[in-house]
Chains A and B, each alone.
Chain A
């Protein structure tokens, strides 16, 4: 009864956070590009205003659709987004080698953005009917296939960032769908193996001094922990084999690929985020400039429209992927913290939907949507701070871009919808 009373509650904090961020984004896009008197970036903020207006329209539209209909149409949406992806790959236009879009009614559409929503809905629908279990590996076949198809298509574009989004969003959804934290740890362990076996290699490449036999220590220690966990949790033999095999395989592959397959310039690109000074002209350029811009913002920033880094066009992509640097330069740590806080409100409100909702599909959609948003926000900001490699994932709400703003709108719409809709279907 408690549930019934609350479920028609509209989530105003979430909506307000989203609105504030969108409006703030328009101002940032303006300040990032107003210096241009000619060229493709002139008046781009007007375009962003239009996108945000459309985004609000989409939010309203999605709120008014009963969740039952979304549930029923999930696979159709998934199929359509895949078809668009295939069309884009077959006929699409390439921009700077990676993003592909198709033209529909004069609008440039990036199908890889909508595929995120497509996969979210399809996974949520499938997992709500058939939960996965590590003890029955066959339960993973369909979900993995659902992920692999768009993953492969997007990787072919090539857009590694989006491909990773597909995998990351699935993880909390699997977790929600009957896995324990330990199960999730087993699934992620090969990835940790990859990182741990790569870190000594990266550091060696960067500093030039070899670790010798100690290269094996980080991964070795982790591997022992995995073995111990497997032993004490008394998992069936096939999980033993699977987890141990996958961990050894990724560690070996990492070492072999790094040792004999990557060229020096590729290694340079991978490690540039760790030490941008090593290649300040090439891969490190954006990172250096972004860090200088953010760092020079100090506590309160240089003031709106007062960013010298931004004004002198030192920052490439400053209205899209590096919009956070514009924020950092002009509004300082205060502005940055405020925005991060707003993001957190949004994500936490999204995750909290599940507290009062009994419908597994809606919960999965809420978890997935929040995960997509959180991952984008984290990776993008970390990138502008020089903590992660430059991946090309935009910052939700703030970055300029039509397809991405629409995608974010759909996700926000789905989150808001979860509160107002009928939960029994």
Chain B
């Protein structure tokens, strides 16, 4: 079987070649003894000193995390010292005695702090790492700490450790903005380990805690400690320079926590939804509230408390962790009519007095479809201003058909709708502007096609879905008239000593190129809504011209529509723009407008910026007799103006458009 090729018959060549390989090998290996000699004989003394007498251990020094403060310097997130009782097993003499002594300790209320069974188990566990501290009780009160420290003679091996925990003084009020901290998820650890993170470290998991994690965290310092053979620290190794930690920076927000709490107070407790207020002159977010909320302090509580509450929060069907202000998408309903109107004015299709061919008789016939208005008896023939003021659907059906979806959406995009605003929070949703192309793409799998009739729904805000933040941006832009600013929460970043590190400059998201006439008419219309008789009169603030628009958006989840209200004030040169969304609550005028009203009243009477503007419009001596701020509790859903949308309540909410056949869509708005 021998094949010539596979046989090597030259013994000399084989020998020579293998000898060469052997020589190369030996040459390479000869480097090793040379190095061994250097380490083990020449430098042995130094190495023996380092290893035998002393050994080194790395100590990570975690700097305190930066704080979060609102625009007036109120602390929304800070650090508090927390104390843990730990055990250092190698120093325990008689663990039974120690357990007995510990079990005698009672806290201020007289309750026992430790129980012997748990302690025995913890001691056993701790024993496997004799020279490391193991926690036996997290986050104990200061009086327990003082007892333990007094009795240190009885408690050898028991050590009190001080650490820093995150504290949120305003609790649930600012949860969605501030966010919370949690342990690094396993998935992210692989990339984070290169960036100074260690297993078990806490990091921001949502809100600003997450988006400004790198700013607030700072940089870990490191020290090399000499420890003796028993693990006791003998101080820093002097030959190796220690690295000082870099402190995290503080965040100064645009948010006004007092205004936020005013909004929270005005918001119906049991209902879901969101309130956003921003300054249209620069994009400062003043209020961002989402209900239901969570107290973020539970996330930094002791492990035993945390695991219980966390389970409840995570499985809550109301999704309290969701920030509805940026991640909740709702059909804008009638609030969108102002934008349709703006598109019509800009196109020259209407002016402020225009009456459209069909007067409102409670419904509008298009082809074979009868689309209803929320007022069954009809509004009659209306001018544009009145059509906004009374929120007549029939007027906007006709306007929508006249100007078409493309034109409406062009202006919607100009105001930043249907796209993420780029706010400095994680998890923002873009929403969805409908229209022929977008609709056909979105429903291609269902074979639904865009029809002309859907423009009617688009014009009254029943086709698209938007976030409350986008709505606030829209109404603020209409009042401002020149620019739409990117909304942001962070105003300034300051270091620990209060020195400014960086400052957020207003960033123009889009320039509004609109005719002055369009802006004037739009503002007149918005102001008319809030005047007595308009659907949004409950948002009125005495002494200030508020412009607003109500909305009651149909949605398939409930018979009750979402209540919406958008407002800006003062309407001709706004310093504040507000959007309120209350899920499944009924009419916007009845439920959402009062929330906005309370917020605006508080703003103009209690905040620094608001007072200045109020003074400008109401010079000394013309003060209203009764104080502005009289926070009325939010009324229940049903009410007079703009109550639950009557008329043809079709299941036509793009919020969950998948469940409703498109052909049946018929608008129904106040």
- Seen from chain A, the residues whose Cβ lies within 8 Å of a Cβ on chain B are 36-39, 68, 97, 128-129, 172, 175-176, 181, 265, 277, 280-281, 285, 288-289, 291-299, 308-309, 312, 314, 328-329, 332-333, 336-337, 340, 343-344, 347-348, 351-352, 354-355, 357-361, 363, 367, 370-371, 374, 378, 381-382, 385, 387, 424-425
Contact = CB atoms under 8 A, between A and B. Distances in A.
A295 B46 contact: yes
Interface string B40-58: 1101101110111001111
Sort A-B residue pairs by CB-CB distance and give the 9 closest, nearest first.
A295-B47, A296-B51, A38-B128, A295-B39, A333-B40, A296-B47, A354-B18, A296-B48, A298-B44
Contact of A360 (B6, B26, B52, B131): B6
Task: State the main secondary structure of chain A at its contact with B.
Answer: helix
Contact of A378 (B32, B41, B44): B32
Contacts of B128: 36-39
A424 B25 contact: no
Interface residues of B, number: 53
Contacts of A363: 8, 14
B28 interface: yes
B25 A374 contact: yes
Contacts of A351: 18, 21-22, 25
Contacts of B17: 175-176, 354
Contacts of B26: 344, 348
A308 B125 CA distance: 24
B222 A385 contact: no
Contact of B40 (A175, A299, A359, A424): A299
Contacts of B125: 38
Contacts of A281: 58, 222, 224, 243
Interface in B1-48: 1-2, 5-9, 11, 14-15, 17-18, 20-22, 25-26, 28-29, 31-33, 35-37, 39-41, 43-44, 46-48
Contact of B58 (A285, A298, A309, A347): A285
A68 B6 CA distance: 12
A333 B37 contact: yes
B240 interface: yes
B635 to A, nearest CB: 58
A65 to B, nearest CB: 17
A368 to B, nearest CB: 11
A291 B55 CA distance: 13
Contacts of A336: 36, 40
Given A295-B39, A358-B8, 9 more contacts: A285-B58, A295-B43, A296-B44, A312-B231, A343-B29, A357-B14, A359-B8, A361-B6, A371-B21
A41 to B, nearest CB: 11
B229 interface: yes
Contact of A172 (B2, B21, B44, B52): B21
A354 B13 CA distance: 10
B100 to A, nearest CB: 25
8 contacts: A68-B1, A281-B224, A314-B55, A352-B22, A355-B11, A363-B8, A367-B21, A378-B28
Nearest to A290: B39
B21 A328 contact: no
B127 A37 contact: yes
B477 to A, nearest CB: 42
Given A175-B21, A348-B22, A352-B18, A298 B11 contact: no
Contacts of A378: 28-29, 32
B124 to A, nearest CB: 9
A352 B8 CA distance: 15
A118 B452 CA distance: 67
Given A38-B128, A340-B29, A354-B14, A293 B7 contact: no
Contacts of B7: 358-360, 424
